[in-house]
Amino acid sequence: MPKDTYRIVTRGSDGQLRIRDYDSQEALLKRHCQIGVDDCSTDLGLRGLPVFRGLIGPMPEGKNVIRYESPEVFETLTKEWTSAKPARRRSRVTLPTAQ
């Protein structure tokens, strides 16, 4: 399934995340200034997509979403992601059966 939704994530003046989705690259280009194209993404589906002034991305989000974030959102979410403690896994111990 091709990536066909462009998502812009910014932070509003009230501190809440603002998410805006675009159905096409053309709609996105009307609102943001393209400064280049992605030519080094490890996700081959993102190569050749636009890079915009003031946004970090493109980055994959799920199967069909291309995500761009403001630098502040990118920094905040990255810090939250790296400081999150992984869920502790309990090892299963098999008890000897009584005979």
Residue 32 CB-density burial (10 A; 0-12 exposed, 13-18 middle, 19+ buried): middle
Give the gyration radius of the chain's Cα atoms: 20
pLDDT of 35 strictly over 70: yes
Q: To the nearest whole number, what is the mean pLDDT of the chain?
A: 87
Q: Residue 12 — φ and ψ, nearest 5°? A: -75, 170
**For residue 42, how far is the Cα from the chain centroid?**
14
Predicted pLDDT of residue 63: 86
Provide, rounded to the nearest whole percent, the portion of the chain with pLDDT above 70.
87
What pTM does this model have? Answer: 0.77
For the chain, the structural domain boundaries read 5-83
Residue 10: which pLDDT band, with cuts at 50, 70 and 90? very high
How does pLDDT run across 49-68, given as a tens digit for each residue? 999 999 999 999 988 899 99
Q: Determine the straight-line distance between the first and last CA of the chain, rounded to whole angstroms.
A: 56
